[in-house]
Amino acid sequence: MRLKLLSPGEMSPAQKETYDESIAGKRGAPPAPMMAWLNSPEMARHATRLGEVLRFDTMFPAKLSEIAILVTARHWTAHYEWYAHKRLALKGGMDPGIIDDIRNRRTPTFDDPRGQVIYDVAKSLHEGHGVSQALYDEAVKVLTVRGVTEIIGLCGYYTMVSMTLNTFEFELPAGETSELA
């Protein structure tokens, strides 16, 4: 870890206010990257609020939103992010084979057409820096414009999360090893 994470007693009033808001939210605990973002308290406040919306209040159940998050974590080889969201994906009911395929950079087979489109959009955003007209049309048909917008939000937000965790070298919990090479 490249950064000393502050305890609540070491935080400025602005940092403590954001910290307290995060633990009072739906997560019940501060998200790991927020502890780094607290170096910019206003950024931390807004980013944490956005993260809560994207995590809990999109139109997608975890089984589907976690596809975009795992594709993003894998794209960035974000060890901590992968560790955290693999667990959430499994808890949300994602097929472990899909997780393995994403980890191994293979295209998974989905039983839900929404999962396939989410995967395709997330991969296209990360690898192609955009979405073709044909994929866009399919995504709007299957996911709606709101769904496409929320997948973009998930990929963008979790890119920032992955960059934060990678830059400050957040470590996995004791006894855990990364699955990503």
Residue 11 has pLDDT above 90, yes or no: yes
Give tens-digit pLDDT for 13-56.
Answer: 999 999 999 989 888 888 899 999 999 999 999 999 999 999 99
Domain borders along the chain are 8-56, 62-167
* pTM of the predicted protein model: 0.95
Q: What is the 3-state secondary structure (H, E, C) of 83-138?
A: HHHHHHHHHCCCCHHHHHHHHCCCCCCCCCHHHHHHHHHHHHHHHHCCCCHHHHHH
Query: Is 1 a residue whose pLDDT tops 90?
Result: no
pLDDT reported for residue 27: 84
Buried b (16+ CB within 10 A) or exposed e, 60-89: bebbbbbbbbbbbbbbbebbbbbbbbbebb
The pLDDT tens digits for 65-101 are 999 999 999 999 999 999 999 999 999 999 999 999 9
Report pLDDT for 26: 85
pLDDT at 181 over 90: no
pLDDT of residue 174: 94
pLDDT at 72 (0 to 100)? 98
Convert the pLDDT of each residue in 104-145 to its tens digit: 999 999 999 999 999 999 999 999 999 999 999 999 999 999
Q: Does domain 62-167 have CATH number 3.30.565.10?
A: no
What confidence score (pLDDT) does residue 25 get?
85
Report pLDDT digits (tens) over 139-176: 999 999 999 999 999 999 999 999 999 999 999 999 99
> What is the C-alpha separation between 40 and 59, in angstroms, rounded?
30
Pairwise pLDDT comparison (1 vs 153), residue with the higher score: 153
